[in-house]
A and B are shown apart, each in its own frame.
Chain A
Amino acid sequence: MLKLHDLYKVYRTDEVETVALNGVNFEIHAGDFVAIMGPSGCGKSTLLNIIGLLDSPSSGDYFFFDENVASYSESQRSVIRKKNVGFIFQSFNLIDELNVAENIELALLYHDMPASERRRRVADAMDRMGIAHRARHMPGQLSGGQQQRVAVARAVVGNQPLILADEPTGNLDSVHGQEVMEMLRSLNADGTTIVMVTHSPAHADYAHRTVNLFDGHVVTDSKRAA
């Protein structure tokens, strides 16, 4: 499904050159549940951003469904991204001015979809995440766990085949963290490919495969029986 070949990402400022990704090679297959681990600054988030087409590599090839997207512009990436990728962030990134249902609907808003269809799918996603009773609440009125459920609902409402989660449990206590992981597991069981960055070995255990990054290299890539 995804293939990264000899991927480099270099950040340049006037004086310093920082190599965030230093020749990364690996492949993700449809239906995978991959956890990316590693210390702070090892390039995890950069990798996730490139996988999610939020950013482009400095060099190397990135095949997204057999299409080399490495040198695509933001607007080209945007078209692929909105069809294929859902995002979950550590800090939820909900829009404070929109209520729960509207925040979820946001993911469909740029998809040329009739309003009735949007409403149906939003209601559906809220049911799945158990937040239907909070539909008219604003993000500020929800707990962290509830907010992250909204974020997950937003990530899945578009039915994108790939979900990227950047430390989805980082801002949550262990109970809520586990809840979110269970959700991801069940999504994966339904066929969604998931790539997740995490610091927690316990949460990495939910994945089928763990990739360890260090200084921009893939150090280990271990698979586990499902």
Chain B
Amino acid sequence: MFWNNVKVALRNLQKNKFFATINIAGLAIGLTVFVFGNLLVRYETTHDAFFEKAARTYTIGSIAAPALNVGIDKFNSVHSALGPLIKTELPDVEYVARTLIWEYLVTMGADSYYQGIRFADPELLRIFDLDYLHGDETALDDPSGVLITESIAVKYFGRTDVLGEAITLDNEYDYRITAVVRDLPLNSHFNSLVIIETDFEMFIPLKALARMRDFDEAGEWDNLSLGNMTYVTLKEGFDLTWLQAQLDGMYGRYVPENIHEVISAFWAVPLVDANTSIWVSLGMPVIAVVKILSFLVLIVACVNYTNLATAQSLGRSREVGMRKTMGAEQGQLITQFLVESLVIAAIAMVIAVAALEVLIPIFNNLASKALTLDYLGSLPLLVLTVILVGICAGLYPAWLITRASPIDALRDVARKGKKGSTVRSVMIGAQFAISAFMLAIVSVVYMQNEKVKNASYEFPRSEVYVLQRLDVDEIRGRLDTLRHELEALPDVKGVAYSWQVPYQQTNSTLNASRVQGDVAGKFSIQILRMAPEFLDVYDIPLLAGRNIGRDMANDSRSEDRSVINVLVNEMALERLGISSPAEAINQRFFDVDDDGGLEEFVIVGVVPTQNITGLFNSLKPWVYYQDNRNIQVASVRITSDNMMRTIGQVEETWKRVIPEYPIQGRFLDDVFNDVYNILKLMNGALAGFAFIALALALIGLFGLAAFMAAQRTKEIGIRKVLGADSLQIARLLVWQFSKPVLLALCIALPAAFLASSNYLNFFADRIDTAIPILLVSGVVAVILAWVTVAGHAIRIARSNPVLALRYE
């Protein structure tokens, strides 16, 4: 019986090749997306699970205080002072280890590279069971030891047995290699965190950091950088809830009062979630969205199938009647039709798997991930999906067609009546609701991203070449020479040193007040440390007063003065209660936090309010001052012609002035793209989903329109004989599908509005209103639907009426 059903199913497919192709292609696309989405979600949510203690290990992050105002409410990182406190305070925590990421110029053998290094507590190697080629987990117990991966060893030495080899950091600090481990797979948070570019490559004891820079091994409360991770492994029997409760208690006992304005709580996250916690931080539920969208695409594909199968099954009414006459019961016939849809789902799945075999390597390559379609592990998912899709998509047509009494079925009452047409309309509506919903969201996200991009042209980002890593003593002494030499190049318009460049997500603030010591009247103001050339290089106009000077007293920060002349932006004036730029000159404000150093600021110039950090950040009050000891980057403004030649000249100049350090240059465009690419990537992914959903809906609509037109051939013939022209016929056919599509929009667009505001909330500077964009995408969806149906309708309508009548 079963094989008989399969046989009939295959023959039916053969007979109706056109509809079979549409059916199978649609389902295959839906299944491809769904399985891919599932693999991706599983991949992203099982990072680090291969570590032996993964289930007991947690990362500790921070929840940002509202006053911090950075657009991100959670960090994966935490102040380095917390780790040692946990060690002494919580005996039930088996291991604690911190890692801090710093980049250094690393010299091994003959080669020097800038290398991101994780400075770690020795216990890190007890938490994570690494695969040691040489050395063991005591590698970081030695304060001058270094642990490197196999590929780093090969990169520098060309071999892996390099224990005891010397390496030098910043041409000054010596270490020796104490362990070489196998590379970690890509699916570890060490390698995959979106914001942090340093992969799992090199580890040095945290103790060593204290001798290279101003760092206390006991940890600090005044620095919170992305990438400052703290890992804990709990003893058996303790869980996340317990850990979070302990951390909440410690927050109250240990976190200094002024840090309460930076973080409002600690945030414990299971190790396996560390990879995806970036999305939680950004407030964007990307993993959930991938899950939902791939599921929605599958639904669209299933509905597609159901719709076509329903329409088609009406043509098989006689067969059902005959089988019933022969004694088949409804259950047996439903089984028959379900076997057919299972066969189709299985064929579609085979095609989908073949497609994935092609797509996954391409995706892995593009996204540097290591997704695999492991057949054994995925088999339950694949089989279950086939069964569920086969049954869900096939049940309705099976039930509809087999429910008629044998005589009705033989007389083919169903085909003549309007049976199932409401359900079909609802299904078309549902498909269009889903695809219009996605299309609308994509449009909103796209427009918002465009807005971010357009706003970013405020600074000449394609004409600024940024030289990084200048905060090294040996370089600092030669910065003046470098600037003069660079300025002498014909196509260099200016060179400005600063702590940060626009779009760099660095956050440095002070609490300012008009009156000295007035804590109640304080507000947070962003600090931009820069050289006077900054205004020229970035085309920033002065609204009043003068620029900071290079050689004037009080125009530059120094240890022995507590007063400094500064520039402020207009927003800062507003917060200070100064009504116009002209009035601001020579006004003063104060740093109310007593942490030594600078206290008094004298305004000598006013600049417009610009979005220095750009992207999703809001406009903020900024103070600009000169601080020659805190310089990290140089912005080299070059003319737009012969850029590559100019860059070459800049590099040559660098090599001449600072030969012992390689140049670290990149365009400001790239700095902007660091974050913007994430937004673009999300939009691209959304657009992919939306395109597939819409394409499926249109394919389904086309198939259904073809079928319904065939059903109405006789009616069309009669209408034509009676004098209807082609246009009227075409309109008739098109209108049949317009009502459900239009109704679908009424549901989809409000839903898209709600969903897209979720994305928009992330941005301080939002597109004025999403509604026109939503409406336009709705109109686009309707027009696409019309064109799809009309193409077919016109062909039918033009055909000879006699042919149409002969049909029955």
Contacts and interface: CB of A to CB of B under 8 A. Distances in A.
| Binding between chains A and B | yes
Nearest to B333: A110
Given A49-B407, A54-B406, A109-B4, A97 B326 contact: no
B652 interface: no
A55 B11 CA distance: 31
A55 B326 contact: no
A94 B11 CA distance: 15
Given A54-B406, A93-B410, A109-B4, A78 B329 contact: yes
B205 interface: no
B325 A55 contact: no
B620 interface: no
Contacts of B325: 52, 54, 81, 87, 93
Secondary structure dominating the interface of B: helix
Contacts of B327: 78-79, 81-83, 107, 110-111
A93 B11 contact: no
Contacts of B328: 78, 109-110
B182 interface: no
Nearest to B319: A95
A54 B7 CA distance: 28
B324 A55 contact: no
Best-surrounded residue of B12, B323, B406 (most CB of chain A within 10 A): B406
Contacts of A110: 323, 326-329, 332
A98 B332 contact: no
A96 B326 contact: no
A93 B319 CA distance: 7
Given A109-B1, A110-B328, A110-B332, A95 B407 contact: no
Given A49-B407, A110-B332, A82 B12 contact: no
B359 interface: no
B322 interface: yes
Nearest to B331: A75
Contacts of A93: 318, 321-322, 325, 410
B385 interface: no
A70 to B, nearest CB: 16
A106 interface: yes
Interface in B355-383: none
A75 B324 CA distance: 10
Interface string A78-94: 11011100010100011
B806 interface: no
A93 B320 CA distance: 10
Contacts of A111: 327
Contacts of B15: 96-97
A74 interface: yes
B322 A55 contact: no
Given A96-B15, A97-B12, A110-B328, A74 B405 contact: yes
Nearest to A160: B327
Interface of A: 49, 52, 54-55, 74-75, 78-79, 81-83, 87, 89, 93-98, 102, 106-107, 109-111, 154
8 nearest A-B residue pairs (beta carbon) = A82-B327, A97-B11, A110-B327, A93-B322, A110-B328, A95-B319, A54-B406, A107-B326
16 contacts: A49-B407, A54-B405, A79-B327, A82-B327, A87-B325, A89-B410, A93-B321, A93-B322, A93-B325, A93-B410, A96-B319, A97-B8, A106-B326, A109-B328, A111-B327, A154-B326
Given A74-B406, A106-B323, A110-B327, 20 more contacts: A54-B325, A54-B405, A74-B405, A78-B327, A78-B329, A79-B327, A81-B325, A82-B326, A87-B326, A93-B318, A95-B319, A96-B319, A97-B319, A98-B8, A107-B326, A107-B327, A109-B1, A109-B326, A110-B329, A111-B327
